[in-house]
Structure 1
Amino acid sequence: MRLLKLKDVMFATGLARSTVYKYIAENNFPKPVSLGERNVAWVEDEINNWIAIKIKERDEAATAA
């Protein structure tokens, strides 16, 4: 299991920092794991699954249209 820092999450998803935290607040994005008082990271598999869901939603929308 690998943990990703915010910079890596932003690179993988193409999202800005503020958007990542906005989506977390809306329960539309994986929550980070606390690594200490001011240190968090995300589980890589959860980020990859989120990306896969977005791809699936895109493909289903294209098929429905």
Structure 2
Amino acid sequence: MNSAVLERVKETPDQPKFIKLPEVVSICCMSKTSIYAAIRQGRFPKPVKLGNRCAVWVKSEIHGWVESCIASSRERTETGD
């Protein structure tokens, strides 16, 4: 599946959308190195392998990770940590 096909797929609750690393980097404001380190540590969603040299992420999982970071940050702020 090429990137043009991936971009045309619209995300719906029953049909997730795949995104490539540059979009993940943009959404998360993290470097590639930091993303892969967080994956190894179990703190970031794992990519879906579509081939030997093609990895994509599920967009809703990335947005869920962002939301959990926000919630965690808010909890720490409210408790004074």
Per the normalisation by structure 2, the TM-score is 0.79
CA–CA distance in 2 between the matches of 1:63 and 1:27?
26
For 2:60, give the aligned amino acid.
Answer: D
Aligned pairs for 1:1-65 (under 5 A) are: 1-65=16-80
* % same residue: 31
Runs of 5+ unmatched residues, structure 1 = none
Query: What's the CA shift for 1:16?
Result: 0.2
Query: Which letter does structure 2 place at the counterpart of 1:58?
Result: S
Matched position secondary structure for 1:29 = coil
Instruction: Name the CA distance, whole Å, in 1 between partners of 2:47 and 2:65.
Output: 13
Where structure 2 has 5 or more consecutive residues not aligned to the other structure, the ranges are 1-15
- Separation in 2, partners of 1:6, 1:41: 7
Return structure 1 stretches of 4+ with deviation > 3 angstroms: none
Matched residues, number: 65
